[in-house]
Amino acid sequence: MNKNSLKKVMSALAVAAVAASATSVVASAAQYPDGQKTDLTNYGTSADAKTNPVLTINVEGKGNEVVYDKASDIAGKTITCTLDVSGANLKYASTGLHVFFDSRYELVLNEKGKAATKGAAIEDLMPAAPKEDPTAPEGFKGFFVATAGAEDAGLDGTMWTFQLKVPEDAKKGDVFPIDIIYRNEGAEDLFINKAVDEDGCNMQASAFVKGIFNEDRAFGASAANVEKVAALANIDTTMDAYVAIADEEPVETTATTATAAPSSSTTAASGATTSAKASSSTKSATTTKAADAPKTGVAGCGVAVAGLAVALGTAFVLRKKED
């Protein structure tokens, strides 16, 4: 790489550092299809997507619905969550994703003081430094993560790992949601290929329309968990995961049944111990997203690239052109 190339790459990375502080930065260096520059709101449709990524939150390796029987099992403890992707192996490069979670959680930063740690799925992509998002709506906290790459090297699997601490005063009946949010204020979140072509735009539309829970793809707690936690019957259908605590703790009862003694023999008795859950509480608490939370879903491609992902992508483009 010559001296001029190095200067250009360093300049792009400097821009990236600034971009990380605001998700409203619009990149000017990305190559958009059909000669369009930044306005791709109506370009790309999920129905035409050849690749359909699914983005999920996995809590403690137990899936996206986790109910604890007792508050003492989880109150004040730290849970490990992953942001996973499937259905997009070697199809994506640039991503920009927001994760929001109930404000009662405390985000536990990693050993580098960052909001999340990159996973194996993005090992060959360049990640932006995960940043806490101060723009989360009332009742929520959140963070922003992004990647870029010289090739479509993103894999299926865990993209990011993060940790949340459940409040010390968590009690029975509590529900703590976690959500993957699509945002497009100023810049749009991303899940797209290096070429930013029609297939990439359609893949991105599918990721945010079909690949996360939103108004088009509703979420609902399982009947078994609703029986344990009444509030889950009214959980916001755009949430992607939750941790909840049962309305009532399991109650163990001991019953002793005497057996009639056979004639001319010693009287015997046998004891049996059974465990049974108390019936679910009938309270009708509602767990919903804040009223001013941004809607999920995307009207098309709209690759006004979010934050650091674009600037990092620019660095790759410049380096490749000058090498």
pLDDT, tens digit (0-9, with 9 covering 90-100), for 161-175: 999 999 999 999 999
Residues of the chain with pLDDT under 50: 1-42, 256-311, 313-323
Are 193 and 200 in contact, with CB atoms under 8 Å apart? yes
Q: What are the structural domain ranges in the chain? A: 3-242+283-322
Q: Model pTM?
A: 0.72
- Name residues whose C-beta falls within 8 Å of residue 238's C-beta, 6 or more positions apart in sequence: 179, 213, 214, 215, 218, 219, 289, 296
For residue 178, the model assigns a pLDDT of: 98
Find tokens 């090739």 and name the residue: 151
Q: Does domain 3-242+283-322 have CATH number 2.60.40.680?
A: yes
For residue 193, the model assigns a pLDDT of: 94
Are 219 and 228 in contact, with CB atoms under 8 Å apart? no
d(CA 323, CA 93): 20
For residue 222, the model assigns a pLDDT of: 94
The SS3 call for residue 320 is helix
Mode of pairing for the β-strands spanning 175-181 and 157-165? unpaired
pLDDT, tens digit (0-9, with 9 covering 90-100), for 224-257: 999 999 999 999 999 999 999 999 988 765 554 4
